[in-house]
Structure 1
Amino acid sequence: MSALLSTEISDLPVRRGKVRDVFDLGDCLLMVATDRISAFDWVMPNGIPDKGRVLTQVSNWWFSRLGVENHLLSTEVPADRLPTGTDVAALAGRSVVVRKASIVPIECVVRGYLDGSGWKEYKQTQSVCGVTLPAGLLQGSKLPEPIFTPATKEESGHDQNISFERMCEIVGRETSRELRDRSIAIYKQAADVALERGIVIADTKMEWGRFEGRLILCDEVLTPDSSRFWPADKYQPGGPQPSFDKQFVRDWLETTGWDKNSPPPNLPTEVVTRTREKYIEAFEQLTGQHFPWK
């Protein structure tokens, strides 16, 4: 079993992100989730087999349930629109055809629990992105109500947390309010659904775009890469939580002496295997479905 680290489709313009390769089909886009995995702002030299399929299938599952207009046109590989010789089988399960939307340059982050950069900021200021929170919260504490904490979208490095007022200056107050309210509503809906299935969605980030003047949900949504998924039966505030994401990768890297400023080392087989298992476990527990490529 091997990881798909890059996709090549001859004669099609492509833009590559940390995980996705996006091909221009003219009137729409073909978005392919590879098996690349990043940590500490570096893409690892080897990937996690089927990770891209998990992210794509989890997103598709949510898109079909949220009742929110989104970018998705088709979950099938458009073989009839691809050049002869394209490896269609490699694209299966990890590809979607999507609308061309003008992406809003803000990461719409919603937090229901206190962790990550929010926890670090809270310890210093008792607030997150300008939102004042109650005293005495612990790492992993559930917040009284979910909060909207936007961030700028950065081409490299960490996205930068900003205040809601700063977001208004960048994209306008009306757009900011709509994105805040809709993002929080989606998070609440999804958090309830996931909790019924034994998963705590601690926080998530969403990407929105404008299509024919309307704001639609884009990219991936509510996946183990764009969210913190915690097993509900192990949830205990007061420290780091077990997770369904790439924590095995981060934990192993922390033991290697890697300086995080130079190319990272190859991930060992055990770390790759356990990380793949966690991604698949998240898919199966959330959707109640058997992962087809297992």
Structure 2
Amino acid sequence: MMTTAITETHLSHLPLLHRGKVRDIYEIDDRHLLIVATDRVSAFDVILPTAIPGKGAILADIANFWFQRTQNIIQNHCSTMDLREVLSDAADYKCLKNHAVIVKKMHNLPVEAIVRGYISGSAWKSYQHNRQICGIALPAGLQQAQQLPQPIFTPSSKAAVGEHDENVSFEVIVEKIGRELAEQIRQVS
């Protein structure tokens, strides 16, 4: 069992492109990236001081499960490149094999696609303010953590480290990426 948390990675043979709230992203070549899910913990857009050993491995497993499960619904960035080709150093491979995935470079969308079945968190705060979530009117009398009458698509902006993701209306997403792509994201979600 792993007892040491991976809070930051340093792979000297690969350029670090981005260190996010939880993931470190390295460039492998002109077509591939290495994404490492660290054990850092982020809540409410803040990186917390204490990491959880093994969290990144679980996060990577869950993501890989869903990418595999939905690959026939929507194109994803998963690659078949062998991780041992990239992490040729035995110590790096042993440490990161369950945390790292190789992906194809693709265009990143500045959108977080969220589907809610229950009203909680930022959705609850928004509902209390004006009975709406992301511009979607909801019935009066809902209680915190209550199941919604039907699932709703509530996109948010994808903020940089130190900034907060913001819930936005579908029309804001349309303005950012165009109606056709926004509709596709909502439909697939």
Normalising by the residue count of structure 1, what TM-score does the alignment of the two structures yield? 0.59
Percent identity over paired residues: 43
Aligned match of 2:92:
87
Matched residue of 1:61: which SS?
helix
Aligned match of 1:171:
177
Inter-partner Cα distance in structure 1 for 2:35 and 2:80: 11
Aligned match of 2:165:
159
Matched residue of 1:72: which SS?
coil
Return structure 1 stretches of 4+ with deviation > 6 angstroms: none
Inter-partner Cα distance in structure 2 for 1:106 and 1:113: 20
Inter-partner Cα distance in structure 1 for 2:181 and 2:10: 36
Inter-partner Cα distance in structure 1 for 2:145 and 2:49: 31
Contact 2:45 2:165 in 1 (8 A): no
- Counterparts of 1:116-127 in structure 2, within 5 Å, are 116-127=121-132
Give, as a single letter, the amino acid of the residue that structure 1 aligns with 2:129: Q
Aligned match of 1:8:
10
Deviation of the 1:45 alpha carbon: 2.8
Q: Does 1:132 align with 2:132?
A: no
Give, as a single letter, the amino acid of the residue that structure 2 aligns with 1:89: K
Deviation of the 1:154 alpha carbon: 1.2
Contact 2:22 2:41 in 1 (8 A): yes
Inter-partner Cα distance in structure 2 for 1:42 and 1:143: 28
Give, as a single letter, the amino acid of the residue that structure 2 aligns with 1:50: G
Instruction: Report Cα offsets for 1:138-160 as digits up to 9, x if no partner.
Output: 11111111111111111132211
How many residues get paired? 182
- Counterparts of 1:1-294 in structure 2, within 5 Å, are 1-14=3-16, 15-26=18-29, 27-66=31-70, 67-68=72-73, 69-74=75-80, 78-82=83-87, 84=89, 87-155=92-160, 156-183=162-189
Give, as a single letter, the amino acid of the residue that structure 1 aligns with 2:110: P
Instruction: Report Cα offsets for 1:137-185 as digits up to 9, x if no partner.
Output: 11111111111111111113221111111111111111111111111xx
Deviation of the 1:86 alpha carbon: 5.3
Matched residue of 1:56: which SS?
helix
Deviation of the 1:134 alpha carbon: 1.2
